Amino acid sequence: MDCFYASCERLRHPDLAGEPVVVGMGYEPGESIGAVATASYEAREFGVESAMPISKALELLPRREDADPDDPDAPDPEETGRYVPVDLDFYEEVASEVKAVLRDCADTRREVSIDEAYLDVTDRTSWAVAGGGGGSPSDGGGADEEATDPPPSGAAGPAEARTLAEGYARHVKDRIEREAGVPASVGVAPNMSAAKVASDADKPDGLVVVPPGSVAEFLAPLPTADVHGVGPVTEETLADLGIETAGDLAAADRDRLAEALGERGPELSRRAAGDDDREVTPTGLPKSLSRESALPTTADEATKRETVSALAADVARRARERGCLYRTIGIKAVEPPFDVNTRARSLPGPVDDPDLVEEVALDLLSEFDDARVRKLGVRVSKLDFAETDQATLGGFDAGDGGGQGQGGKRETRSEGGDGGKLTDWVDGPPDRGGDESGSVAERERRGTDEGQASLGDWS
């Protein structure tokens, strides 16, 4: 996603379009400590970068509110920006819209963070040239394919011969913008590291396709900093070795690289040569299972209850198919414009009970009977994949402290009030980096290149 937090703010505040936007904390009157969460491309032109101290950002780009036309010492309005506070709940809601598209477009996904994911679409498209024969969408197009070699589109723009893979990527990209309202940049390649580099090659709103047989050529002229896994520390070490480009790194003596960088050295060399045989794998067992559905804000109580019943049945079915029990049942109700409310109820032990999921979800929904909602969701969490005895429905009703309130009414526990973490509403936990090979300086993430500070830095 492109400057995701700033894009989200522009979604609900269209007047921010084209403006330098800084999302962060600490710029409010009386505050002196804070940092930039993300900066729009317009703000970056003034030197503002993610993770920068807010005091430095204000030096480079004063607040628009401080541009007083009657004050000769005030900053020029043309050299000021719009500063917006971090609203994590809202960003998570938009992210759930994006990830709903991704779940629909790829069976195998690795969600790296709130704004980045890998998709394996081998079974849904191919490297065949559109209209040129030589394959069908079912022919694959994975990391090991060596068949069709049309020239890469590269960062300079699409090639004349368009692959079916490019068409599918454009479909995903267009759906994200249409359904979530925010722009994404997409990279398509035969392996993970090349796709990552391609996704960064033409930001913002980019689409870069690197077919098999073209990966090494695409990477060769790029600086080593662009190779997936190379950060400032490694870049400096490579420069000391006389290695400046990905092509240099691919051709370097790997024993020498191992001496300087350990086992990461040869691995980075292989990636620079276009060799990366990692599979796109989910980030472990899910922490929750959920389903959501948009509906018109004019929906009546009966429609809302029908929707939640259907969502509850689907979530319970998915949990049973995966062989997991659950200890918490919850709902999400999004009121216009983007007020996210979550409610949940904990059980005394893990269960597999579709009727109970529906019963609890409908009970929680009653709080919103008279509310206008634009989306509803049902979730089961605190999953248990182990062989274990499940709690009984009678145990849930027994009033033994396992979630029963006064007067025999079950207690509703709101997890963190309105909102909730993104991981509450996706099928797998986010993974900082998505890269098993490197932990040096937390993958030496560069705020300016990643475009977004980590959620962990702000929550």
Query: CA-to-CA distance for 153 and 148, rounded, in angstroms?
Result: 14
65 among known catalytic residues: no
3-state helix, strand, coil in the chain (%, to 5): 40, 20, 45
Strand 35-39 vs strand 21-25: parallel, antiparallel, or unpaired?
antiparallel
Query: CA-to-CA distance for 345 and 368, rounded, in angstroms?
Result: 16
* DSSP assignment letter at 146: -
Kindly give, in sequence order, each residue whose CB lies less than 8 Å from that of residue 353, ignoring residues fewer than 6 positions away. Answer: 316, 390, 393
- Taking the C-alpha atoms of 337, 458, 329 and 395 in order, what is their torsion angle to the nearest 10 degrees? -140
Q: What letters, b where the CB count within 10 A reaches 16 and e where it falls short, cover 58-92?
A: bebbbbeeeeeeeeeeebeeeebbbbbebbbbbbb
Instruction: Report the side by side order of strands in the sheet with 288-294.
Output: 288-294, 375-384, 325-335, 339-351
User: Which helix (H) or strand (E) element contains residue 450?
Assistant: helix 447-450
DSSP-assigned states of every residue in 273-305:
TT--------SSS-SEEEEEEE--TT--HHHHH
- Please give, one letter per residue, the 3-state secondary structure of 101-118: HHHHHCCEEEEEECCEEE
Max CA pair span of the chain: 75
Kindly give, in sequence order, each residue whose CB lies less than 8 Å from that of residue 215, ignoring residues fewer than 6 positions away. Answer: 189, 190, 191, 194, 274
- Taking the C-alpha atoms of 133, 136, 142 and 148 in order, what is their torsion angle to the nearest 10 degrees? -10
Of 42, 92, 93, 116, which residue is the catalytic one? 116
DSSP-assigned states of every residue in 25-68:
ES-STT----EEEEE-HHHHTTT--TT-BHHHHHHHS-BGGG--
- The residues carrying an active-site annotation are 116
